[in-house]
């Protein structure tokens, strides 16, 4: 695994991180623990979670995994979306639902739509503090490396009451770094309001180019780290597949769409971490193999030119 030095966290971090969104819901706890351990053995030390992930189970499962590894990993959890309330009936349905999705992959989207999601109440100091304390208990740790506002509005990121409570949490030693996990508009709002925010987590693909937008809008901003995700988003995968079949070789691009996308993501965010959701050993090994390579930065320009040549839409 290739590592980079994160000057904000003052430590080496893996260039890819483990996303825990499905841990406990789509992925059974025992299978999830095996995947976490395998990823750790491959050198991944960044683990991303949130209270609502895995129908509210992900933090507790990750906490079990972290018991003997806490000092060697980076934990990012979030605040802003509550843990969902799951009825006993829905809990009983988890196992047959997992079997059905494995047997008939085409129904995954329908199962996902039926999944319970947490509520998003207004942010206030008491709610923020309670959420952080619950996360610490479930993660079996006394501090978070990164605490991120979870899909906040720009107004949340400018709210002095929210910022003051986050500063108190940081001062109390409960969180090392405060970040924003959400839209570029919300991240820019927070960055322009307070130096408290030192990290940004957001969706980025060759067709979104959110990282470039963030860099352009915050050129004068103090150093911060970026965590990008969703590079394997289905429409990005299908678009790259079509581009490679039509014109890939002319632009020096060969390989499977997943290979091109992960290399693009790593080259496009060379000083940050690329977050991936991966549980099958084959996928973990493939991603870690790509992450261990020295990526040619020219892949970014090549894919950009190919997209422009085919006149595919890009959200700039």
Q: What is the pTM of this model?
A: 0.86
67 confidence band (pLDDT: 50, 70, 90): confident
110 confidence band (pLDDT: 50, 70, 90): very low
pLDDT tens, 182-201? 999 999 999 999 999 999 99
99 vs 287, more confident: 287
- Whether 154 shows a pLDDT value over 70: the answer reads yes
**β pairing state of 11-14 and 74-79:** unpaired
If we measure between CA atoms, which residue out of 279, 251, 238 comes closest to residue 54?
A: 279
The mean pLDDT value of the chain amounts to: 87
Q: What is the architecture, at CATH level 2, of domain 3-83+118-235+258-296?
A: Alpha-Beta Barrel (3.20)
Cα(139)–Cα(217) distance, integer angstroms: 35
Quote the percentage of the chain above a pLDDT of 90: 66
- Whether 90 shows a pLDDT value over 80: the answer reads no
Average pLDDT over residues 270-276: 94
What local confidence, expressed as pLDDT, does residue 159 receive? Answer: 97
């Amino acid at each position: 695994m290739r590592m980079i030095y994160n000057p904000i966290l003052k430590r080496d971090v893996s260039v890819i991180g483990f996303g825990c969104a499905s841990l406990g819901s789509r992925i059974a706890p025992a299978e999830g623990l095996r995947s976490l351990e395998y990823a750790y053995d491959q050198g991944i030390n960044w683990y991303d979670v949130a209270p609502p992930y895995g129908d509210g189970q992900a933090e507790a499962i990750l906490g079990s995994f972290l018991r003997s590894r806490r000092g060697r990993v980076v934990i990012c959890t979030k605040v802003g979306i509550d843990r969902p309330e799951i009825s006993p009936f829905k809990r009983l349905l988890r196992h047959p639902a997992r079997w059905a999705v494995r047997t008939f992959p085409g129904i995954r989207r329908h199962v996902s739509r039926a999944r319970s999601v947490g509520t998003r109440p207004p942010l206030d100091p008491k709610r923020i503090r309670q959420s952080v304390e619950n996360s610490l208990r479930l993660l079996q740790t006394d501090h978070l490396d990164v605490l991120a506002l979870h899909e906040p509005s720009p107004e949340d990121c400018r709210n002095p009451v929210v910022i003051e409570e986050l500063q108190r949490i940081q001062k109390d030693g409960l969180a090392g770094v405060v970040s924003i996990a959400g839209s570029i508009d919300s991240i820019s709002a927070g960055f322009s309001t307070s130096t408290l925010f030192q990290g940004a987590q957001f969706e980025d693909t060759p067709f979104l180019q959110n990282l470039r937008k963030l860099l352009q809008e915050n050129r004068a901003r103090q150093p911060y780290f970026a965590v990008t995700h969703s590079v394997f988003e289905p429409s990005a995968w299908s678009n790259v597949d079509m581009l490679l079949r039509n014109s890939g070789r002319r632009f020096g691009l060969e390989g499977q769409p997943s290979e091109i996308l992960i290399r693009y993501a790593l080259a496009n965010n060379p000083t940050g971490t690329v977050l991936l959701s991966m549980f099958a050993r084959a996928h973990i090994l493939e991603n870690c193999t790509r992450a261990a390579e020295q990526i040619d930065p020219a892949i970014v320009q090549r894919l950009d030119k190919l997209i422009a040549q085919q006149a595919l839409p890009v959200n700039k």
